[in-house]
Every structure is written in structure tokens, then in C-alpha cells.
Structure 1
């Protein structure tokens, strides 16, 4: 038993020593920071088995006739709550392939939920208020987050070695509003800069 515990400790230490923090800076063609870009990393060694959990709440609020947040990152299999804080009713829907759903009319201080079973995008709209628009990015890796107002994001403890870095944003020009590249993650802190054309028109389709 003591040998097994010692072996587990050695393996944990070895794993930690071969992981590093990866900072990613997302910029548009003019060099300006891009907010709400979803950055994911898929190590060549694969992702851990089991459910993925993030530190932020899986919640898409309706308030002031808007969705909040504009972009939400959700693990595949995650259940998102949709609280209505407005005085009017909303009817939330998505026509996105693989993540099509509809929540019938519900009113103030009511909450509905939906579980996202497919990796991809759910572009959200409201059947009552056309100006409402938001996006849920469903991912299958624990190394995922979105950029802040400075266009930067840091993913912690990414396994060292080859990996695929992907950046998604509703206005990123290109197939699926996504760009990708092969990278090498080192055991020390690393940094990547992604520059793209963010002039595409966001859509609820």
C-alpha cells in the first residue's frame, strides 16, 4: 500500500512537471485586442476522461432585453440555466446544427435549463425580441476559456508536447468562424499570438 501511494505521488509530480501555462493573445488585423474569442487546446496526447468542469457558472441570463454573457463556454454534457430577470417574457431558441433547441415562453424570475450534448456552437435568439443574440460554445477539452477586454487568456497546466490551438469568434472570417494551428507546449510558461480577420457578420444561424 505504501509503495502504491509513493508511486502515485511520483506520477503526480511527473505529470505536473510536464505541464505549463499557455497564454494566448487574440488580435484583429489592425492589432487590436479581440474580446470574447474562445480559445481551446487539444493536446496530441488527448484529453482526460470524465466530466469537464469550469470555474464560471453555466448560466445565460436574460436582462435588459439582452443575453448575458454574449459568449459562454460550456463543456459537452453541461446543463445551462436560463434565468429571466426581465419584466417581459422570452422564448429562447437555437437553430444551430447539433444544438437545436427551443425553450417556450417563460416570464420574470423564472428559470429554464438545457443540456448541450454536442460539441459546437449554439447561436441563441429570442422569438419575441429580434435584437437578442448570444453564443454558447460547447467544447470537449478542459483547456478552454474566452478572452477578456485585453484580448488575452491563460490556460493552466496544459500538457507539454504537440497540441492544436483553436480560436473561435462569431465574427472571425473563415469556415465555422474558427482558426487553428499546430503548436508545441513546453513545461515552462509559453505565449501564442493569434491574428485574424474579425470582420464577418455575426448571425443567429
Structure 2
């Protein structure tokens, strides 16, 4: 009887150890990249997208994104101004204004048009090619936004301080890139190679040139509703 109880305790202990091992967080074996994007004066750049491309592309294959994301239209503006997504992401374009909008893009990565509508279009737009997609509205010329479509699942957008953190990266070699709507030069010119380990974080800083901002001036007519 004593032997039977001892064997039972040993089996339970082994089972408990195996359960603890299986429930260990994946993040404990993943790396991080702490990115900082600044302009030539040293000021942090908001709305820059930092992407980490795995040297072993199969390591970064997450099968695309299935969740539907939103680019809203509020007070005759797109929100957010920059939206980074992974290839395979569907984006909805709801219109919360009490007027109609006509969303379109002529960008090579995604050419589409959502004719005049209020509310939410029947179908979201699938972004199935990598690249930067410029959004516009045929009715309100000042409305502009960007969808950055990444072929890697590892990306992040900078905040007002120019900082962005990429987390849950499998250890390995990566090529980093930084992109911004006003980036002076090509995105490929920002490339750098880094090695991500299981512990600690890689620090990466860019000092990028920005082109002058050009947006058609918003000129609403006071007291007039509609377009």
C-alpha cells in the first residue's frame, strides 16, 4: 500500500512538472526590438512604421491576418492617419459623418474605390500586396491617410516620442526598415541587419530626412451641411 501511494505521488509530481513546462509563456523565449525614429533635428517622428523582416522568411510566416481592422471617417478626416497591417488584412471604412464620402486609392499595392456612401460599405477591402497605400476621398480633397501593408508580422508604429517596440520576435537575424509618408528617399535605404536573441532587447535608431508636408488646405463653408 505504501509503495502504491509513493508511486502515485511520484506520478502526480511528474504530471505537475510537465503541465508547468507546457504552460510556460512563449514570450519567455522571444526577443524585442526597441526602435527610435528621429528627424534631422533629433526630434521624434510620429507615425513612422518600423518593420522587422526575418532572414528565414518561414519563421515570420503567421499566415496573414484574419481580423478586420478599421479606418474611420470622422469630421471629414481619416482616422488613423497611418495604419500598419500585415498582408492579408481586411480593412473596413465606416463613415461616421452625416454626409457621404467616396474613398479610393490608385496605389500599385492596392487600387480600389468605394463609391459615395454613408454608414459602412457592404464589404471590407482586402490588402493582399505589400507596400504603402495612399487613401483619398473624391469629395474632400484634403482627406488623406496611409495603409502600410507589411509582408512581415513584426512591425510597430511610432508614437509622438518617435519610439516603437517590436515584441515576441523569434531569435534570429532580421532586416529592419523604417517608413514614413514623408520619408525623403527610398525605404530600402533605411535597411539594417540585426540579430535578435532570446533575452534582452536590440536598440535601433534612425535619423531620417522628411519632405515638406503637402496637403490641400481644408476649406469648409461655415453653416453649410453636406459636401
What is residue 166 of structure 2 aligned with on the other side?
155
Report how many residues are paired.
195
**Which residues of structure 2 form unaligned runs of 5+?**
1-17, 217-227
1:119-198 → structure 2 map (5 Å cutoff): 119-175=130-186, 179-187=190-198, 188-198=200-210
- Larger relative helix fraction: 2
CA distance in 2, matches of 1:18, 1:151: 27
2:63 aligns with one of 46, 51, 55 = 51
Post-superposition offset of 1:158? 1.6
Post-superposition offset of 1:16? 5.6
1:1-205 → structure 2 map (5 Å cutoff): 19-46=30-57, 47-53=59-65, 58-107=69-118, 109-112=119-122, 113-175=124-186, 179-187=190-198, 188-201=200-213
- Bigger mean CA offset, 146-155 vs 186-195: 186-195
Q: Given the superposition, is the C-alpha separation of residues 163 and 71 from structure 1 closer, same or farther in structure 2, using an over 3 Å criterion?
A: same
**Which residues of structure 1 form unaligned runs of 5+?**
1-5
Contact 2:66–2:88 (CA under 8 A) maintained in structure 1? no
TM-score normalised to structure 2 length:
0.76
CA distance in 2, matches of 1:176, 1:136: 15
TM-score normalised to structure 1 length:
0.84
